[in-house]
Amino acid sequence: MEDWNEKCAIVGVYNVPNASILSYYALFAMQHRGQEASGISASNGKKIATHKQMGLVTKVFDAPTLKKLQGNSSIGHNRYSTAGEDSIDECQPIFARYSLGEMALAHNGNLTNAKEVRTRLIEDGAIFQSHLDTENIIHLIAKSPKKSLTNRIVDALEQIQGAYALVFLSRTKMFAVRDRYGLRPLSLGQITNPDGSMGYIVASETCAFDLIGATYIRDLAPGEMLVFEGAYSQHNTTPKSLQIFTPQPKFCIFEYVYFARPDSKVFGKNVYEIRKQMGIELAKEHKIQADMVIPVPDSGVAAAIGYSRESGIPFELGIIRNHYVGRTFIEPTQSARELKVKLKLNPIAAIIAGKEIIIIDDSIVRGTTSKQIIKILRQAGAKKIHLFISSPPTISPCYYGVDTPDVSELICANHSLEEVRDFIGADSLAFLSLSGLQKSIHHDDDNHQGFCQACFDGNYIIT
């Protein structure tokens, strides 16, 4: 429920009439991954048109705007921006003209050697238009001596490090690629066009497929690049797969904890089922008597259902969320923060008063939001409040494409469990163990594929 923010969502649509419209709906479905800016680039086979702007998808695009983005291929991007970077220059997709023609690029992730690469490019004469590490990739492609765009992309990716899911659009082709670790999700879907021909979509989450009626095929493998071509000819448009890096799977475990929509399939598994299993494991690890289990909406719902099912303690929607609250206050005063929580969340005193309750949430970051939730529940008359978290304590920031606080602001990295409990004001506080989280993910299979869990154990896979 607290301040975790995925930096973006990406989508690519190929060989589909009015591809930009499908990209629009896909971005709408993935709005939760970024609310600061949105953009789409589309190609009609001869030129690429781009529109991007600060704001939500529905604010950035309307029917006249989408009509200008003509063509059978398009890519799109939703962005979550960090402080000081709210400008049109930081929006994606990035568009450029270079020796092979035109190209647009959208990126989900973060390059860990971005500063070194940028410094080298600037020393070689490159001129940057933004602070985005994504712009490094455009320059590397433009400067590459390779003859084809496919080989130039590979050449550029061999020079960067970090986490990325990327979609590239040229005038006639589209490319989709994941880093060798597969840290950020990217799935492939198929679309049947009115004339019976096949179109394709790649997106950060499969909830985008559901909205437009696409069929999920598979996830891109770590280190895999798909090449889409033939949309502007009579040739087969089936994407060609190139394994450009040896796979070293380390998927982002926090996709399951918080980021992804519960109706999505991420890394080959349904998110809702895993979150519910996290609640089941939490109940196995932390048994306690109480009158009811209440989720923090919407982040704790699935886990609370699992906890209730395993423990036998009744599930209640004891807190109601107002979904129409946007930015409210600029001044960072305590009263403003408290009011903002009340605007978003309102407890039902009629069922809470005089009761011992278990509150389920997915994580604690700074602890300030949890503190305010506990406070409003006390004011509603709760007799005892137990806060149970369906993930391990967050002790390390992420450097792979997630906007997280510095380690100095992570309350669990700097305080004991008892100190955190005392700060938030709960009668008890408990977290799911890391082994319990892993059990939740693998409860229905024996395929223990690798995950990056640096936010929970401090073991970074890329330095």
Active site (catalytic) residues? 8
Peptide bond into 93 cis (omega under 30): yes
CB 412 within 8 A of CB 430: no
3-state helix, strand, coil split of the chain in percent (to 5) is: 30, 25, 40
306 CB contacts (<8 Å, ≥6 apart)? 275, 276, 277, 278, 279, 280, 281, 282, 283
CB 276 within 8 A of CB 303: yes
**Residue count of the chain:** 463
Q: 345 forms bridges with which residues in the sheet?
A: 321
**Radius of gyration of the chain from its Cα atoms, rounded to whole angstroms:** 23
| Angstrom distance (rounded) from CA 423 to CA 410 | 13
| Angstrom distance (rounded) from CA 184 to CA 180 | 10
Alpha carbon separation from 6 to 89, 386, 399 (Å, rounded): 19, 28, 12
| Angstrom distance (rounded) from CA 109 to CA 410 | 21
**Torsion angle, alpha carbons of 99, 102, 106, 111, to 10:** 10
What would the two tokens of residue 233 be? 């000819």
Burial of 363 (0-12, 13-18, 19+ CB in 10 A): buried
Question: Helices marked H in 179-288 — which ranges?
Answer: 207-212, 254, 271-285
387 CB contacts (<8 Å, ≥6 apart)? 359, 361, 370, 374, 421, 424, 426, 428, 429, 430
Q: 202 forms bridges with which residues in the sheet?
A: 12, 188
- Look at the block and give the residue holding tokens 């999920």: 216
| Angstrom distance (rounded) from CA 43 to CA 70 | 7
* Angle, vertex CA 130, rays to CA 461 and CA 177, nearest 5: 45
Nearest to 252 by CA among 109, 379, 124: 109
